[in-house]
Structure 1
């Protein structure tokens, strides 16, 4: 009975269109990266920033754009079509932080969105800061050994 059911499910399930999905992910991910490069070039040329501050400002800008588009409901529409092409860039990080918090907007922006935003971002920040301290410690130790 189990094999018959599995066969039935396989027959009626829609077949994924791998080539289309891969192509869309590649194109959308590439577009996000091109937008990031344009922003970086603007910070370098128009903003007269050096390479590292321009890169930092670009990351912050892309995170802001990803969070804003998530809040407006646009990023989820992009994600439905692009899949990994929208998840892998840094804008996907912003989406993964903001999206769950938006479920609580009925409770208000401070106690709803704001409080729940830190529930999601908290572990990311804790592990990110903790791992950077550990890496910094090892870097410091290895530079002392030389």
Structure 2
């Protein structure tokens, strides 16, 4: 068994110089620009809600996030967000839109299994873990803040 592992390591060492080098700078620039564009769209939406619907800075965030989630979900359903992700890599994983893409992708992937057992069951596989972690982290940080505010 050990010889097989040694052979694999030797093979990996032999082919390493032959493998193409990824264009790291180019990929970073594409990710930065795409993520920045998503953020610019979010800021434009926020300005739109503040200008035309008289929201304040604090209250314009909720409809902005909801609109970004809707847009990302629609683009995922149409297959466009996957192309954006292939182009931008990590730049398309801006928290709100990336999360909407992940949830919508899971739902679409299992739609052939039915609405309840397919979509509903698999919809929250990723989202459930993120929501639970976020709630637990918020609770812990809230308790720490309360403790520091009370006792210090």
Regarding TM over 0.5, the answer is: yes
Q: Is the 8 A contact 2:103 2:126 kept in 1?
A: yes
Q: Report the alpha carbon displacement of residue 47 of structure 1 after superposing the two structures with TM.
A: 1.5
CA-based RMSD of the aligned residues comes to: 2.0
Within 5 Å, which residues of 2 pair with 1:1-146? 3=10, 6-11=13-18, 13-146=19-152
| Number of matched pairs | 145
Moved segments of 4+, more than 6 Å: none
Q: TM-score, normalised on structure 1?
A: 0.85
Q: Which has the larger radius of gyration?
A: 2
Q: Secondary structure at the match of 1:50?
A: coil
Q: Is the 8 A contact 1:43 1:58 kept in 2?
A: yes
**2-structure distance, mates of 1:35, 1:99:** 22
Q: Report the alpha carbon displacement of residue 66 of structure 1 after superposing the two structures with TM.
A: 1.6
**2-structure distance, mates of 1:104, 1:90:** 22
- Decide which moves more: 2-11 or 73-82: 2-11
